[in-house]
Structure 1
Amino acid sequence: MISFKCISVCTSFVAMLLCFVLIIHPDILFMLFGIEKENAGIFIGRRTAMLFLGLSILTWCARNTAHSNARQAICLSIAISMLGLALLGIFEYLSGTASIGILLAIVTEVTFALLYFKIWLHYKDVVIGLNIKNA
């Protein structure tokens, strides 16, 4: 099974990359997703960049965290967030709002959602120092 640390480092890297792209050159996402460039989109994109910055810092700082309730909460919240983003992406694609380029985001989001959810499921019955299944 892939480790929490590995997933967290990957998440941190991707989130930081998205932060920089949204701050410095948000036009790339308009082009990739096939949506019209508008001032509102640039405004929201830059604000979203700060959320990606926070996610990047959270996952980087938590990468070495041992199993705990806090780590489980991080796994579950990121899994749900990524799944929600993927579902929104699918909806936007099917409704014609976004082009086929949104599939890159959807695949990335589903991948992170599944990986974090897998870790959450693997450890959900484990109490620190005691595995409930074997008790």
Structure 2
Amino acid sequence: MKKLFLVPVLGLLFASCNGNTNQGNADSTAVDSIATEQPAFAGVGTYTGVLPAADAAGFDTSLELKADGTYTLIQTAKGSTDSISNQFTVNGDTISLAGRDLTGLLQGDSIVLLNADKQAPAVPNVLRKK
């Protein structure tokens, strides 16, 4: 008789333990997703300026950095407009634009564009935040 009573009790015990396991996994998943969120990039916004050109008066330039990690770069010279949208990456205060060989240094409300050696040129090319 005791054996017949023990079987249903053990069944209930195992069933109740299985329910707690799923709940524990849900809690750890929520903690993992919170821990992997990246802080917002402070340089989000639109930057404008005139960049030098070898065969023109310069490029009117607009660079929009978006919170989702994408950018839109629009350059106009001699009535012709060139536009590109892609991803950007931030490493400290350095911004690199994918799809363009363009790197800049975030300084306050400005971006100083760097040369191929990742150095600021003698005459800096600066885009200022609107």
Give the TM-score normalised by the residue count of structure 2.
0.22
Q: Which has the higher contact order (CA 8 A, sep 6+)?
A: 1
Q: Comparing both structures, which one devotes a greater share of its residues to helix?
A: 1
